[in-house]
Each structure stands twice: as structure tokens, then as C-alpha cells.
Amino acid sequence: MKENVTSCKEFEDCSIKYSALHVWLDNIPYIVMILLGAVIIYLAHNILLALLFVAYGAAGVLWFIYLICPFCHYYGSKACPCGYGVLSAKVMKKKDDSKFNKVFKRNVLAIVPLWILPVVASVYSLINIFSVSMLILTVLFIVDSCVILPWISRKYGCVDCPNKEECFWMASKGSKGSRESK
């Protein structure tokens, strides 16, 4: 089967050019989530596990850039709302667009534990020794990762993304779907 490796420049939606400010705003909730998660894990366990969590958060970004973005319609384009597509074009060659759905579903699961591990660490800690500060940190983590981050993605970052149907929080909003080639 012929590979679909067309350039984003050939499509009308790629004329969108998100500013650096937009890209940062889109990334801030994820950065906050990783930092809050690391603090929770540090307080519940130790600094080594907290640093490993930060490394996992960074690896999650690289996972996207290396393994998912090369298959995306927005690879190499400033129409990618979080900027990963531009970074991906610097380190990876364009891959077959038509495989995006399969590649996304297979790889996105690798970062799901980032949303779960701090909560597990917090529950473990709260059961052993109740602490108001741990409770507050955990509420902040849940609000950021499960409310603010998906809200910004739905309303701001990913609203025009052709891949939104494959995203685990965009799909739940009944979006119209991705490009027909995917």
C-alpha cells in the first residue's frame, strides 16, 4: 500500500500558526501536573521516586515526539497546538499518515500512569498518616490533571486537531472525527 506522507502545508487547516504563547499555555497544565505529582511522590515516598516520576513525564513528551507525531497530519507544522509536531520534524522523518489511528491508540496508553501514580502514592500515604497538606496537594493534582488540562485541550489546544477522535479525553466529547485519511 502506498504510504500517505503528504506535507501538512498541502492542507487548509495547516495554515493555522499557533503562537509561542499559545504553545506554552497548552503545555503549562502538563508541566504543573508533573511537578505536583513529583511533590506528592516525594512526600509519600522519597526523592528518588519523585525524580523518576519527573523523568517519566519528560519521557512521555519524547514518546509522543518520536513515536506518535511522525504519523500525524500536523507533523512539522505550527498548526500543532502543543508544539510537539515542530520538534518531531527536527528529529524524526515523516511517517505514513494513514496509520495514525493505530499508532496513537497503541502508544498513548504508555503515558496514562502519569495520571494515576501520584494518586496511588497519596492514598497510600493518607491511609498510613493523614495529612492535610497531602490532601490539598492531591486535590490540586486531580483538578489540574483531570479538569484544567482536559478543559484547556478541549477549548483551546486541541479544538481544531484532526486527531481529536483518537484522544482519550477529546473522544468523550463526541467530536466529529479525524481526517478521512486516518
Residues that bind ligand SF4 (CB under 6 A): 64, 68-69, 72, 74-75, 80, 82, 84-85, 161, 163
| HSE value, Cβ hemisphere, 13 Å, CA-based, for 111 | 23
Residue with Cβ nearer ligand SF4 (39 or 68): 68
In the chain, DSSP finds a helix count (H) and a strand count (E) of 7, 0
Q: Residue 82 Cβ, how far from ligand SF4 at the closest point, in Å? A: 5
- Angle, vertex CA 73, rays to CA 66 and CA 81, nearest 5: 75
Q: Residue 48 Cβ, how far from ligand SF4 at the closest point, in Å? A: 30
Residue with Cβ nearer ligand SF4 (122 or 164): 164
Alpha helices by DSSP H, listed for 129-182, are 132-143, 149-152
From the centroid of its chain, how far is CA 6? 24
Q: Residue 55 Cβ, how far from ligand SF4 at the closest point, in Å? A: 20
Residue with Cβ nearer ligand SF4 (30 or 75): 75
Q: Residue 85 Cβ, how far from ligand SF4 at the closest point, in Å? A: 3
Residues near 166 by beta carbon (within 8 Å), at least 6 away in sequence: 100, 101, 104, 105, 108, 178, 182
Residue with Cβ nearer ligand SF4 (128 or 155): 155
Q: What type of residue sits at position 80?
A: C
Reference 100, options 59, 136, 66, 72; nearest CA is 72
Comparing every residue's Cβ against ligand SF4, the nearest one is: 85
Residue with Cβ nearer ligand SF4 (37 or 81): 81
Q: Residue 72 Cβ, how far from ligand SF4 at the closest point, in Å? A: 3
